[in-house]
Amino acid sequence: MPETHEILIVGAGLSGLSTAHFLHTSAPDLDILILEQDGRPGGAVRSFKENGYLAEWGPHGFLDNNPASRALLSETGLDRIAQKAPLGSFVRYVCHGGKLVQLPQKPRALLATPLLSPLGKLRLLGDLFKKPRSAEQSVGQWAAYRFGAEILPLVDAAITGTFAGDYERISIDAVMPGVRVLEKEAGSVLKGLLRKKKGAQGATLPAMTSFPQGMEQLITALAAGPNILYHSPVRAISRQGEAWEIHTETTTYRAATVILALPVNRALALLASHAPPVPAIPTARIATVALGFTNTAQVPFGFGYLAPEREKRFAMGALFSTHMFPGRAPQGRVLMEGLVGGRRHPERLELDDRELVSRIYDDLRQLIPLPEPPCFHRVLRGDSGIPQLEMGYPALLAWKDAMEQRLGGLHLCGFGWEGIGMNDMMKTAKTVAERILHRVGGKRQQPEVRPVYF
C-alpha cells in the first residue's frame, strides 16, 4: 500500500523549503512530506567556510525588495540578523577597455557615463520612435533594436551577472516579460517608464541581503521545521484517480497535492510522458574561485565587476566579498570571488584547480593592484548549472501552465521555472502555497517591470 500524505513536495531546495514554510505558517496541521535526493537541503544554496573565510558555492544574496522574501525572513526571525549591502551605497564596475569603470545604476547616469559615446547616448532616445516587435527576440536583438548597438556591452554584463548566459540566446520575453508588456502598452520602453514613474513615489534602491553564516543560514532555518526524507530520489510520478503517486526506489507515496520543487530539467525528466515542448533546456555551469589576499590588495570599494565578452577576459567577473558583507575574511585579509565558465566558456571548467587559480589571479591583477599573490585559495565547483531561459522558453512556460490547469493537484516551482533568482523562487513558493490553501487556479499574474541591477 502506498504511504499517504496530504501534500508531497519533491525537492528540499529553496523552493521546496519555502513552499513548506508558507503552507505550515498558514495551516500548521497539514501533513507534508518532503523528499530530497541528496543528504543535505538547499540545492544550489551552499556556503563555504575555512580558515576564517566565508564564500558561496551558489548565490551570494538576494534583494530585499520582494514581499515574499521579506515575509519569510520576518516569520523565521532571520530579519533580526540579516546583513544588508544597500545598492545605493555601493559601486558596481564593468571592465571597459581593460579598466574598471563604474556602472550607471540610474537612467540619468547614462548621460554622463564614459561607457557610451555622445552618439550612443543620443541613440538611446531612438526607443521613443521604435514600434514594438511582436515576435520573440533575444535580449541582444531587442536591446539593439530599441537602444542601439552601443548598449550591448552593458546588456552583456547584465546577462553575464544574472545568468552566466549569452545575451544573443536569452529570450527577452522570458527574462523581462514586464518590460515587454510596458513596451507594447506605451509604444516604447522610455514612455512606459515615465508613465510608471509618475505613479511611484519615494522609490529607493534595494539592498543585497545575506547572513552572518552565509546564505546557507537561511536554508538551515527553513529545514528545521518540515518533515524531510533525505537520500530519496524520485524515479517516477503518476496520476492515480484523483491522487498522485510518487515512486522512489523503495517506497510509493500518495497525495492529492504534489509540488515538484525541482530545477527545470529534473522536473521535465519526470514529466516526459506529458509531452513537454523540449526534453530539457540549456544550463550554464560556473566555478567560483575564492582568493584571499593580505590588506595590501587595493580592491576598489564596491560589489565587484563584470566583464563583457568583447573584453576577452578569462573571468566573467569577480565579487569584492569583504566589501559586501562583514565576516567574509579574517582580520587583515581581503576576499574576492572570481567567476569562470558560463554559457560561452564551459571548456574553462575542464582546467584543474591550480590552473584556474593561476588564470583568475592573472586576470584580476591586470585590473586591480594586487602586490602579493593570494595567501588563500579554493575552487568551488557547483554540481548543477544555471537554467538558461533562451529562445523558446516562453512556450515551455505556457505548457507548464496548461498542464497544471488540466491535471489539478500538481504544482511546479523551482530553479528556472519563474526565474533563477532567490527572490523569484520565494515569490513563486508563496504563490503556490496560496493556490493550494485557497484551492484557486493557477492563472498567471500580470508580469511586473523589474529594474536591472548589475
Say if residues 300 and 93 touch (Cβ distance below 8 Å).
yes
Q: Is the pLDDT of residue 186 over 80?
A: yes
Edge-to-edge strands of the sheet including 32-35?
Answer: 227-229, 32-35, 7-10, 257-261, 410-413
Domain boundary among 198, 229, 245: 198
203 in a structural domain? no
Q: What percent of the chain has pLDDT over 70?
A: 95
Is the same domain home to 114 and 181?
Answer: yes
SS3 of 46, please? Answer: coil
- Supply the CATH number for residue 140's domain: 1.10.3110.10
Q: Report pTM.
A: 0.93
Confidence grade of residue 199 (pLDDT, cut at 50, 70, 90): low
Residue 341 identity (one-letter amino acid): G
74 in a structural domain? no
Note the pLDDT of residue 88: 82
Is the same domain home to 169 and 188?
Answer: yes
Is the same domain home to 275 and 399?
Answer: yes
Say if residues 11 and 246 touch (Cβ distance below 8 Å).
no
Confidence grade of residue 444 (pLDDT, cut at 50, 70, 90): low
Note the pLDDT of residue 214: 98
> Across the chain, how many H-helices and E-strands are there?
14, 23
76 in a structural domain? no
Among all chains, which residue has been given the C-alpha cell 513536495? 9
Report pLDDT digits (tens) over 365-408: 999 999 999 999 999 998 889 999 999 999 999 999 999 999 98
372 in a structural domain? yes
- Supply the CATH number for residue 299's domain: 3.90.660.20
What mean pLDDT do residues 49-62 have? 97
18 in a structural domain? yes
Cα–Cα distance between 103 and 317 in angstroms, integer?
A: 13
Where does 228-381 have alpha helices with state H?
264-270, 321-324, 353-365
Confidence grade of residue 440 (pLDDT, cut at 50, 70, 90): low
What mean pLDDT do residues 181-204 have? 79
Say if residues 300 and 368 touch (Cβ distance below 8 Å).
yes
Q: Is the pLDDT of residue 132 over 90?
A: yes
Is the same domain home to 296 and 346?
Answer: yes
364 in a structural domain? yes
What mean pLDDT do residues 343-356 have? 98
Count of domains observed in the chain: 3
Cα–Cα distance between 362 and 358 in angstroms, integer?
A: 6
Note the pLDDT of residue 452: 57
Q: Is the pLDDT of residue 354 over 50?
A: yes
Domain boundary among 358, 387, 416: 387
Report pLDDT digits (tens) over 272-290: 999 999 999 999 999 999 9
452 in a structural domain? no
DSSP 8-state code for residue 169: T
112 in a structural domain? yes
Q: Is the pLDDT of residue 450 over 70?
A: no
Signed CA dihedral, 177, 178, 179, 180: sign only: positive
Is the same domain home to 424 and 340?
Answer: no
In which domain, by residue range, is 26 found? 3-44+215-280+390-438
Mean pLDDT of the chain: 93
Is the same domain home to 172 and 32?
Answer: no
DSSP 8-state code for residue 109: G
Report pLDDT digits (tens) over 143-158: 999 999 999 999 999 9
Q: How many beta carbons lie within 10 A of that of residue 53, not counting itself?
A: 22
Say if residues 372 and 297 touch (Cβ distance below 8 Å).
yes
